[in-house]
A = this chain, B = another copy of it.
């Protein structure tokens, strides 16, 4: 059904607005995403302004800054004016200086002031992702006055996430009220008696991932964002939390996979952007891996005597890398979910070493038998077997330790990616292997 519509819009752009108008905004956004930039711009421009705004308000609509730059300035400003504050800010962050200069004077004074304030916050902070259209109540209102007030201000919003009760003089947060609280109460009660006092709140500069986890932890639909004077600046909703967690998870996965973070969807990231995000890590890992050659050259004499040893090198170093990959994955994820406290780090390391030992002991006999079947003799075979135990243990240790070290020094633990750990273990594995060979074979 969606694919039929997709084709219809593509083949007949004239019909596009009729089709898109019928759809829910996220579905319309999906279809527009499929068009070329020019066609997408035309399709959106043919929509009634209200619908164009609804589609533009969808975070899933791709290329929003590019579209804004393509529109006539007046049209662009009209759309921006209609967006919710958080989406408007998100789009503005990606506009070029020139486009910004052209559009800012076309926005209302109020919108402009708000936008400039929001842009001053980091996009990774609570204030950087908040929206500002909350309902302000004062404590002496009755329930019925509050409901009347809500009815008068909440024209277009699909959901009323939050109504906050503010101290009349200072604007400080006194309490929070949900629609449910109001509906369940007696009409004549003053809201100060039914509001939730000391509601959970976050600070303007709190990290956005922390904010998302708080929304998830306390099952909140929205959380107020406060300034240093405890005044409400805006709020972050559970929808935002879903988007933030998905983005943060994507970043973690990409870092774990050994590359820099790619923000745009796959096909919207240009060829050279892709190369620029991937090449630096690949080169860095390559430079690290050069030490495997250095190490092997160091053992040139041993290799000359026991050439059979080299057949096991990929096997041994990859086993260490795989074991390290498992540990790192578990530790990085547990840190991200807040499952591990610093007080537990030592216990974690000791445990991973015990697990690594057990895993090494499981792999070891397979390696031993394979070597014997290849006719290497007991010397090389037991070198392989013993090295496997040590290297798998080493992998588990490095895989667990490195994310903790990164976290300790304030870096993202996910930077200790699978390939990064594999490189470290490769070099360490080769040294271990030939050391054990020297000892067991008397080289």
Query: In whole angstroms, how far apart are the Cα atoms of A423 and B322 in the complex?
Result: 10
Choice from B180, B307, B315 contacting A290 with Cβ under 8 Å: B315
Choice from B254, B278, B289, B374 contacting A297 with Cβ under 8 Å: B374
A105-113, A114-122, A326-334: which lies at the B interface? A326-334
Q: Is A205 in contact with chain B by the CB < 8 A criterion?
A: no
B-chain residues with CB within 8 Å of residue A60 when the two chains form the complex:
217
A245 shortest CB reach to chain B, Å: 6
Q: Given that A279-B362, A314-B292 are contacting pairs, would A321 and B253 also be in contact in the complex, using a CB cutoff of 8 Å?
A: no
Query: In whole angstroms, how far apart are the Cα atoms of A297 and B314 in the complex?
Result: 12
A86 shortest CB reach to chain B, Å: 12
Using C-beta atoms within 8 Å of the partner chain, give the interface range for chain A.
35 or more
Q: Is A372 in contact with chain B by the CB < 8 A criterion?
A: no
* Chain B residue with Cβ nearest A267: B344
Q: Is A17 in contact with chain B by the CB < 8 A criterion?
A: no
Q: Is the CB of B333 within 8 A of A254?
A: yes
B-chain residues with CB within 8 Å of residue A344 when the two chains form the complex:
267
* Chain B residue with Cβ nearest A355: B274
Query: In whole angstroms, how far apart are the Cα atoms of A334 and B312 in the complex?
Result: 36
A93 shortest CB reach to chain B, Å: 21
A45-53, A63-71, A95-103, A235-243: which lies at the B interface? A235-243
Q: Is A435 in contact with chain B by the CB < 8 A criterion?
A: no
Query: In whole angstroms, how far apart are the Cα atoms of A256 and B367 in the complex?
Result: 25
Centre residue among A151, A154, A296 by max chain B CB count within 10 A? A296
Q: Given that A238-B238, A250-B337, A359-B279 are contacting pairs, would A286 and B245 also be in contact in the complex, using a CB cutoff of 8 Å?
A: no
Q: Is the CB of B358 within 8 A of A419?
A: no
Q: Is the CB of B418 within 8 A of A330?
A: no
A219 shortest CB reach to chain B, Å: 5
Using CB atoms and an 8 Å cutoff, list the residues of chain A in contact with chain B.
Answer: 24, 26, 60, 147, 150-151, 154, 157-160, 178-180, 182-184, 200, 215-219, 221, 238-239, 241-243, 245-246, 249-250, 252-254, 256-259, 262, 265-267, 271, 274-275, 278-279, 281-283, 285-287, 289-290, 292-293, 296-297, 303-304, 307, 310-315, 317-319, 321-323, 325-326, 328-334, 337, 339-340, 344, 347-348, 351, 354-355, 358-359, 362-363, 366-367, 370, 374, 392, 417-419, 422-423, 426, 430
New contact pairs (9) apart from A26-B218, A250-B333, A267-B339, CB-CB < 8 Å:
A159-B178, A183-B183, A257-B328, A258-B329, A279-B362, A285-B322, A296-B314, A318-B423, A325-B418
